[in-house]
Amino acid sequence: MNWTRLQRSSLKTRITLFTLAIFLVSIWSLAFYSSRMLLKDMERVLGDQQLSTVSLLADELNHELGDRLAFLARIASRVTPAMLADSTALPALLAQSLIPDDEPFNGGIIAHRLDGTAVAEFPPPSGRLSLNYMDIDSVAAALQEGKSTISRPVMGKQLPVPVFGMTVPIREPGGKVIGAVSGVVNLALASFLDRFTDSRYGRTGGYLLVAPHDRQIITATDRDHVIGHLPPPGVDPTVDRLVAGFEGPAVAVTSGGSEVLTSAKRIPVSGWEMVAVLPTAEAFAPIHGMQQRMFLAALLLSMLAAAATWWILGRELAPMLSAAKMLSSLSETQRPPPLLPISREDEVGELIAGFNALLKTLGSREKALQESEAFKNVILNSMAAEIVVLDRRGVIRAVNKRWRRFSWENSGKSGQLPANTDVGGNYLAFCDLDAEGQADEASKARRGIESVLERRLPSFSLEYACHSAEERRWFSMAVMPLGTDVESGVVITHTDITALKRAEQYEQFRSRILQLLAEGELLRGLLEALAQGVEELNPGMLCSILLVDKEGMRLTTGAAPSLPEAFNAAVNGMKIRAGAGSCGTAAFTGQRVIVEDIASHRYWERARELAAKAGLGSCWSEPIRSSSGKVLGTFALYHRHAHSPSAAHVELIEQSARLASIAIERNLAAERLRTSEAHFRLLTENISDIVWRQDRDHRFTYISPADERLRGYKAEEVIGRHVTEVLTAEGIAILKAKQAVRAEAERNGVRTRISRFELPQRCRDGRLIWLEVLSTPERDARGAIVGYFGVSREITERKYAEERVRQLAFHDPLTALPNRRLLDDRLDQTMAASSRIPCHGAVMFVDLDNFKPLNDAHGHVVGDILLVEAAARLKSCVREVDTVARFGGDEFVVMISELAADRAEAVDKAATIAEKIRLALLEEYRLTIKSDAKAETTITHQCSASIGVALFIGHQASRDEILQWADAAMYEAKQAGRNFIRFHDGGRRG
């Protein structure tokens, strides 16, 4: 059932359905439970009865089989060894033993020699004499094991009919088996088994006699199943349980798919099972009939309950339904609702009476509300600002017409009011929208409104931007509470302050350009800043500044940061003439040229396709004039679509053109200054040091030819590049540190002078050289830094010499291992680190045993070779973070850090490392001596090591104390006989 559809149904339907559902669940659960339990009880009773019957039959059959085995045993006891060899005596004995009226074996009796061959039979003749029956399991068991058994059913040797036999051994007086007597039962003829299987169990049931171990049916009520086979293991679980020895009733499914009730009872003397079978259709027929009658009764009761419930609910809910229909029809009109009729004085009548009282109250309130709403709208719409009223949750309660017009103007091309800007919308949710990248202002507005709503602020005001692709606009927002109560909400007024903001921004832009002029900014940077500033003031417009070349015949690109490169390349070098676009015409006529639609204007006839590819729709161009009136270039504004300029746009073009004129004239004056500086280069071109000059952004404006001789770079490859482009990573870090120091000093009012520092630089051929740099800031008249100049001198050889001195100061010259000074420094650092972690470290004093005899016998050269090899073996035994140092002579110190926080674990790790070192140093040394005068000589030497270990953590002991502990432990190892490891542990030795 569809739950949503049910929820939309009438109350009457839902109550009827739920009542009916409860009744149906109850009555049908009872019906199913009762029938199921009755079926279980019937199955248990019938199963017990069936088991009782089959147990009685199994007991009787067991006696029958036992009697026949006893009969055979009596015959076997009368057989003598001589009779087995007498062809007439033994048959006579068999004939005398049988009673003609009650033959126990319908297949006769056979006597066997010890090898299983039949030597006598009765009744004769049947053709079984001289046949060997050793393959029959009961014969083999009697002859070989001396057991009396019953065989499994097989096909007869003489006649192809199913038979089974009972065999007992024939013994001599000493007990030795000399033969056997078998009684044969022919299952194809009437036998004593028929008394057990001929009768049926019930109308359709019957019996089976089963040999479970052979999974074979011996005989059955249904003769088609005689000598049949049971299903193989795993096919029928009930059969598998029967074979496993189960006795008792069970419900199973036959191979034909019929469900039957079965009971089995084992026959001890043969190991067979007597099974009774009764189809459940017959056994449970009364129960099934009663179930059908019970379910039919439950169905009739369910239908009766549903009808009765529907009728009663319809009668009781009729007044309420009538009232609901009347209210539904009145909700579609604007008329005041009339009072509802009361038909009965019961609970429904009381409900309708209460609702009538509510209708009277709501009518009065509605009238007062309409009058108040009309008064409020008159006041709001008379205000000159955009006004919105919020409740305490930020939901808009009222807006004026100017607010709606403002929202429509800012809705873009969607044709709909922005979300959460009309009555019913949440204004705080509108503030959360990151529209036009104004997330910060929106967040501030939300926090301010919430503060006034919660009375944490008495009022709040904010100026914010509301830009579009066509125009930049600003507004001021003021938030005031409606009353002192927190529940009363706030009123928000918006005021357009775009004109004021534009004036402020242009003044800031103009000041920035004039500041760049005062600071000596290059012409390209000035023009780029001018173009970008104008574009920032007018989003959607593209700025271009073109310059007249020296000949005054063509326009070249000065700055056009947002125009396509292809367009700039095509315009660069454009000839000045009438009809050459807006800029070419403005430069030619010296007058402003306004082209509102490039696609149709005659000035753009030659370049119309170029403008279309660049996506340009209009172009307004103003000539740039010098102070003397000469045209220096053009200033142009492009628009993506056909567009007409406003008075503010025309004023902006004029003012920007005047700023560009100032920048160009300044550049011309600077050009004249550069000409006067030519003689300066003559003084710098022939000295070996590099003379250079940079602007305030550290871009090279001059470099002397000595740089090409020293580093291999030509001047044109360096000029214009930033200083960091010619430095290595290490040099950049050094330079930035010096720049930071200078910048900090300048901020603190300290005028810096010459700075001296050393920088690594990479040559063209890949060589690394070091330069000593003298840098001096260049200042303008106000003292501001406008650039830098200086001299760089190569000091590579001096740096390498200093590095060699430093290496010798901290490393052993023979093994290149750290010396005592460097070890002390690293040990201090490791001790400090172990205090912070905390984690144990270890110091190992290693002294080579048997080293002096090598020196005495072969000289110090061989001893030095061994020390170098020992140092290499020590380094291979520890990590890169650990330290191997040489103290002098044949003494080494190994410092291990970060072993473990637990001391016992640290001791284990240190012992492992020390043992690794001891074994490495114990290996044979093969020392090769090379001599120019003699052939190479190889000396083998065995050298062990005595090792003393001291653990430390933090600053529990001083550095010298730790070294003394390790040294003392090493001497203890030597005293122990050398080639030992000893630990120092606060006075205890390990």
- CA-CA-CA-CA dihedral for 683, 685, 691, 692, to nearest 10: 110
pLDDT range class, residue 110, cuts 50, 70, 90: confident
Length of the chain: 990
Task: Give which of 295, 78, 106, 241 is closest to 187, Cα–Cα.
Answer: 106
Cα distances (angstroms) measured from residue 720 to each of 389, 443, 694, 698: 60, 44, 9, 9
149 by Cβ neighbours in 10 Å (0-12 / 13-18 / 19+) ranks as buried
The Cα–Cα gap between 683 and 758 comes to 24
pLDDT higher than threshold 80 for residue 72 = yes
**pLDDT tens digit sequence for 250-270:** 787 776 677 888 888 888 888
pLDDT higher than threshold 60 for residue 6 = no
> Which two structure tokens, joined as six digits, stand for 283?
């056994």
Cα of 615 vs its chain's centroid, Å? 45
pLDDT higher than threshold 60 for residue 81 = yes
pLDDT higher than threshold 50 for residue 101 = no
pLDDT of residue 873: 92
721 by Cβ neighbours in 10 Å (0-12 / 13-18 / 19+) ranks as middle
> Which two structure tokens, joined as six digits, stand for 536?
């920032």
pLDDT higher than threshold 90 for residue 913 = yes
Cα distances (angstroms) measured from residue 617 to each of 542, 613, 718: 11, 11, 41
**pLDDT tens digit sequence for 577-614:** 988 898 999 989 989 999 999 889 999 988 888 889 88
Q: Write the DSSP symbol of residue 221.
A: S
The sign of the CA dihedral 867, 873, 875, 877 is negative
pLDDT of residue 970: 92
Beta pairing class for 945-952 and 981-985:
parallel
| CB proximity list for 512: less than 8 A, separation 6 or greater | 529, 533
Peptide bond preceding 838 in cis form (omega within 30 of 0): yes
pLDDT range class, residue 946, cuts 50, 70, 90: very high
pLDDT of residue 434: 45
Cα distances (angstroms) measured from residue 283 to each of 32, 57, 222, 262, 276: 19, 20, 19, 11, 13
**3-state secondary structure at position 432:** coil
State the CB neighbour count (10 A cutoff) for residue 256.
6
**Average per-residue pLDDT for the chain:** 81
pLDDT higher than threshold 70 for residue 652 = yes
In this prediction, residues 10-29 reach a mean pLDDT of: 73
